[in-house]
Amino acid sequence: QQQVKQSPQSLIVQKGGISIINCAYENTAFDYFPWYQQFPGKGPALLIAIRPDVSEKKEGRFTISFNKSAKQFSLHIMDSQPGDSATYFCAASGGSNYKLTFGKGTLLTVNP
Amino acid sequence: KAGVTQTPRYLIKTRGQQVTLSCSPISGHRSVSWYQQTPGQGLQFLFEYFSETQRNKGNFPGRFSGRQFSNSRSEMNVSTLELGDSALYLCASSLLIAGGMTDTQYFGPGTRLTVL
């Protein structure tokens, strides 16, 4: 059972454009929603995270939008750059379980 | 602060062998989690340790085991290796917030295991 569904699988954006990646979750016990960025040959690196007490969090060019009633959250990358080309994973955790449940990932390509 | 370190970075084993992977968490972090990453299944949770105790375990066979030492360093072991165990094994450490709230997990670079 996939508890976090991520879309799209791949995304191509022009430099300067906006990249949007969406995730939906099922478990209402989740209370922590991070996004990770992974480059080839590297481990995932935390990009930005949100808790359900806020609907939006912004850090630089990266914004998380969170809709608790719809059980959805999304990552927006403004002014996308070729250096943002990587795989992005959404994740969720919470309740009595400290594990992260990951989405399947989105391969983002930003063309120069 | 140094990040999460994992050794070795690359391993090649043959079917039936066993392997031990090591993880050193960020200084002060007491929670260590292990994940398996494959192209087909993505990132899957293996187990999590806190203060030398396994608190959570994912849906993996008993061939996968782990332990944590008093200095928070952790090892995972896979016995009787199968071809399907070829994967990137990632370790993540976390500073547990008082009250048990989920906290950020910081990942190491992973160990790339190839089973021939």
Please report the pLDDT score of residue B88 as a whole number.
Answer: 97
The strand pair at B31-38 and B87-94 is best described as antiparallel
Q: What is the 3-state secondary structure (H, E, C) of A70-102?
A: CCEEEEEECCCCHHHCEEEEEEEEECCEEEEEE
The span from the CA of A75 to the CA of A106, in Å, is: 11
Whether the CB-CB separation of B115 and B86 falls below 8 Å is answered with yes
Helix, strand or coil for residue A3? coil
Q: B53 — contact with chain A (CB < 8 Å)?
A: no
Give the CA radius of gyration of chain A. Answer: 13
Tens-place pLDDT, residues A11-42: 999 999 999 999 999 988 888 899 999 999 89
Q: Cβ contact (<8 Å) for A89 and B43?
A: yes
Please say if the pLDDT value at position A63 is more than 80: yes
Distance (Å) of CA B26 to CA A44, B58, B82, B106, B116: 15, 23, 31, 8, 32
Tens-place pLDDT, residues B65-109: 999 999 999 999 999 999 999 999 999 998 865 555 657 889 999
User: Considering only alpha carbons, which residue of chain B is nearest residue A35?
Assistant: B104
Backbone angles phi, psi at B83, to 5 degrees: -55, -40
* Partner residue facing B107 (CB), from A43, A49, A99: A43
CA B105 and chain centroid, separation: 12
* Partner residue facing B108 (CB), from A41, A43, A102: A43
Please say if the pLDDT value at position A49 is more than 80: yes
DSSP one-letter code for A10? E
The strand pair at B111-115 and B10-13 is best described as parallel
The pair of three-digit structure tokens given for residue A12, joined into one six-digit string: 């191509």
* Partner residue facing B56 (CB), from A44, A97, A103: A97
Please report the pLDDT score of residue B95 as a whole number.
Answer: 81
Tens-place pLDDT, residues B7-65: 999 999 999 999 999 999 999 998 999 999 999 889 999 999 988 999 889 999 999 99
The span from the CA of A77 to the CA of A58, in Å, is: 10
